Structure 1
């Protein structure tokens, strides 16, 4: 006896078939494009090795410069910079698009509740015989007297209860053999009932995503989200680098201001000495005029630094998100130093640079878009189901079996003729992919170039500064000897003036070289990716972001209060010291 095969429900077969088809994903899988990956930097030969700094791993690379005021300013920038705020909003937009792409893969459930109230007009013509000269009535009763029968008449009949009656007519001749006075039966319009209908329903629709259209779209949006996260990190790094550069240049200007102030004091003493010698008849008038000219020139140079410092201060204020009038940075006696920077290897650069990461994520997104374009050649399957309850004139027992309805079924949509639209969209997607690949490779090449440029710049500037410092030492010694000879009356003051100018220029050149080295060091750190470790930006809700900003503002205010207390303490100590010396 043949065994009967087990019964398999049709719906189970359908579900299994859809599950197998849903595993199909059209389009190419992502493969990283070939890019240049040198084993070491060319200009790193002779580079001073430095141990990897912990601050780079903590994304606090600016702490390498060991300046508490700078640390405070960068924290304010992270919380209040408007350019960073724009990038952060763009990231949240991309995050929302990823959630929307995921939602498209899920079933869509909608509910509906409707109530309708309707009325239909009806009327007839009276039967029986008609006589000449008589009248007949038909249709509805003209209740409102406007000459026609319409919805207003129905409403008038319902309100007044008057349905109207036909009129009878008489005549001498009868066409139907009835009495000569034959009468015509009257016709009246019947009152149309008002119908009420109640419907409550639920519908479900789901796209089977047989060819991976929705999955590829979600993959593309996820890559764009990660690209926006990397862009946010890149913009934050650029703003931080701008602030650090401006702050370090401001501190170098403070050092130049101190140098010029000391020089003005020295030139003032030289001018007094020269005037005394002139009054004693020891030197000519020319010496005093040269000394005075030298003094005034240096004073003008000192004044010129003030507007440069103010501009750096204004730029820092805008970077931290406040008006220039709300920020003031006091001068300090210390001069920043160039830190030792761990360079690493080029392969790490591709992981640390956020702009390189953003460019690669754009390639991934473009690759997924090719799959989306390829799915347009295949049919879309949508499964829909709906059901509910419907009843007329009453809601009693509405949710009972006699008033139930339902339907379920698939729908297959296939474009048969589009005159090349799908092929054009596919070519566009492929061209976009090629564009993003080229942009990715160019970004990698540019990043490698920037690191090499700043490496050689720092090396050359360091050697140049060493030689400039030796030149400054020699110039100071020459000036000391020349001043002694002038005091002994062996030379004129013009020789002293020339050496003073040379010594001052040499000292200012040293500070200029320091400024260039500091700026180059910041640029090198930024070219290496700062402290970014490639981690995605945390998915925070708007409430969490607001709470985080409020906490940072509280911390900033506490630091400002502590700084004010320190200043007051220092002023009190200075006042007590002055009182002790005075008393």
Structure 2
């Protein structure tokens, strides 16, 4: 046995591993780069151009930066994802000791008395009614000789599952951060619209009061007063709608930050700047940086390892069992040298009638691998589509922004001219009202398109992988 033990150790460590050795999925069909990259944009190396940590700082909003850290610390969805990650890590830690022997200390003490009426053989008459005490201090060792690589494949699967959990956690954090950023700039855009509408209400109130004063003096037209009052009421209704939308956005931001909506307030903060341009990452970079792709690929690696685990179950499982300790009928003699006891041996578990079931498990794990491979390819296609769609949207939104900027400038000028013409008696109030309505719509469209550009920029950042940093927990 002494000569056999080192041999078994060597066989366990260097024995064959049944099942496939994992090879990463083939991405040869992925294009080398995106087509029709907008002018002024360039391909980027994430290490040199993209902030792989606090990606939202590229948006240039210090107030947003101050809130962003609370997402990871306080959001219940984030903390639940972190708990799932911790679960995966405990499984990995348990799998790491699979190749090591299991050693248990099992002290025992007991007493047994035999029945005087159970024996019928004359030779057993001296064994009737005997009481035997026993005391033992054994160390029991059980060690599976991993000849076929079952334990090592389990370790591979556990490691891949932990890495998938890390990527899934990063994906949850990235989604929450992107949701907060989008809601934040939507709130700022709403505040900008509120400012524009309030300014218009002030002007229309002044105009309505002036017309009412003229009407009271008999110098005005009641129709003009009614029209002006109708436009004022319509604008006040728009303001109420914007205030309601603002309350919804503030409540949503509180939820993302893991805070009660009641009593949560955010100061008025209009949006004036334009979103930044960010470098366009190539598809190969996306495959490296997106958490959902990383998670899908690690799930695939775990499934590949489990094929080996199930194939190894078709082969004999060999265990080395050993016990070393002290045993005695008297507690006073237990620690004496003469109480020393030991045993060792090898046993094998050879599946015979269960082979059909075990082969079905192998086929099931192979089918599971094929399923996850298709899921991985779908995840890659979705990722590429999201980036391509964001790039296309930003291109057209940029052109739309230029158009609405010109519209806002022209309609503002037209409203001023029309109001001057009305005051000089050269045109009717209806023309001035129409011009003012067009100006208000153009200014609001200008803000709304700017908000869409921010939302799409954030979506592009998310599609490019954003932050891909393992949590230090």
The verdict on a shared fold, with TM-score over 0.5 as the criterion, is yes
Where 1:87 maps in the other structure, the secondary structure is helix
2:2 to 11, 30, 33: 11
1:254 offset after TM fit, Å?
Answer: 0.3
Asked if the contact 2:112–2:131 (Cα under 8 Å) also holds between the matched residues in 1, the reply is yes
Using the TM superposition, give the Cα deviation of residue 427 of structure 1 relative to its aligned residue in structure 2, in angstroms: 0.4
CA contact under 8 A between 1:201 and 1:387: conserved in structure 2? yes
Tell me, yes or no, if structure 1 residue 359 matches structure 2 residue 296: yes
CA distance in 2, matches of 1:121, 1:81: 67
Which of 394, 400, 403 is matched with 1:464 structurally? 400
1:280 deviates by: 5.4
What is the correspondence of 1:266-415 to structure 2 with a 5 Å cutoff? 266-279=203-216, 281-392=218-329, 394-415=330-351
Q: Distance in 1 between matches of 2:402 and 2:321?
A: 79
Partner of 2:35: 42
Displacement after TM superposition at 1:116 (Å): 1.8
The 5-angstrom pairing of residues 411-490 of structure 1 reads: 411-418=347-354, 420-490=356-426
* Structure 2 residue aligned with 1:224: 161
1-structure distance, mates of 2:49, 2:209: 52
Is contact 1:50-1:341 (8 Å) kept? no
Distance (whole Å) between structure 1 residues aligned to residue 7 and residue 129 of structure 2: 55
| Contact in 2 for aligned 1:55/1:63 (Cα 8 Å) | no
Q: 89, 100, 115: which one pairs with 1:95?
A: 89
Distance 2:134 2:428 in 1: 117
Taking the TM superposition and a 5 Å limit, the aligned residue runs for 1:255-274 are 255-274=192-211
Contact 1:389 1:405 in 2 (8 A): yes
Work out whether 1:529 is the aligned partner of 2:460: no
SS in 2 for 1:210: coil
Q: Match of 2:138, SS?
A: strand
Q: CA deviation at 1:279?
A: 4.7
Does the residue aligned with 1:363 lie in a helix, a strand or coil?
A: helix
Q: Using a 3 Å threshold, how does the CA distance of structure 1 residues 269 and 347 change in structure 2: closer, same or farther? A: same
Alignment TM-score, normalising by the size of structure 2: 0.92
Name the CA distance, whole Å, in 1 between partners of 2:324 and 2:11.
Answer: 28
Q: How does 1:57-76 map to 2 (within 5 A)?
A: 57-76=51-70
**Any conservation in 1 of the 2:139–2:324 contact (CA below 8 Å)?**
yes
> Could you say if the C-alpha distance between residues 422 and 53 of structure 1 is closer, same or farther in structure 2, counting changes exceeding 3 Å?
closer
Q: Judging changes above 3 Å, is the alpha-carbon distance between structure 1 residues 500 and 45 closer, same or farther for their aligned structure 2 residues?
A: closer
SS in 1 for 2:107: strand
Distance 2:417 2:446 in 1: 22
Distance in structure 2 (CA, Å) of the matches to 1:420 and 1:334: 67
Instruction: Identify the residue that residue 434 of structure 2 maps to in structure 1.
Output: 498
From the superposition, tell whether residues 462 and 194 of structure 1 become closer, same or farther in structure 2 (CA, over 3 Å): same
User: Are residues 1:197 and 2:190 paired?
Assistant: no
Distance in 1 of aligned mates of 2:453 and 2:63: 20
Report the TM-score when normalising by structure 1: 0.75
Equivalent pair of 2:30/2:283 in contact (CA under 8 Å): yes
Give the gaps of 5 or more residues in structure 2.
118-127
Distance 2:105 2:19 in 1: 36
**Taking structure 1 as reference, are residues 517 and 121 closer, same or farther at Cα in structure 2, changes over 3 Å only?**
closer
Match of 1:33 in 2: 25
Q: 1:346 to 1:365 in 2, by over 3 A?
A: same
Aligned twin of 1:155:
none
Query: Unaligned 5+ residue runs, structure 1?
Result: 1-9, 124-190, 541-583
Over 6 Å off, 4+ runs: 50-55
Aligned length: 460
Rg (Cα) greater in structure: 1
Superposed CA offset, 1:125-153 (max 9, x none)? xxxxxxxxxxxxxxxxxxxxxxxxxxxxx
CA RMSD of the aligned region, Å? 2.2
Q: Structure with the greater relative contact order (CA < 8 A, sep ≥ 6): 1 or 2?
A: 2
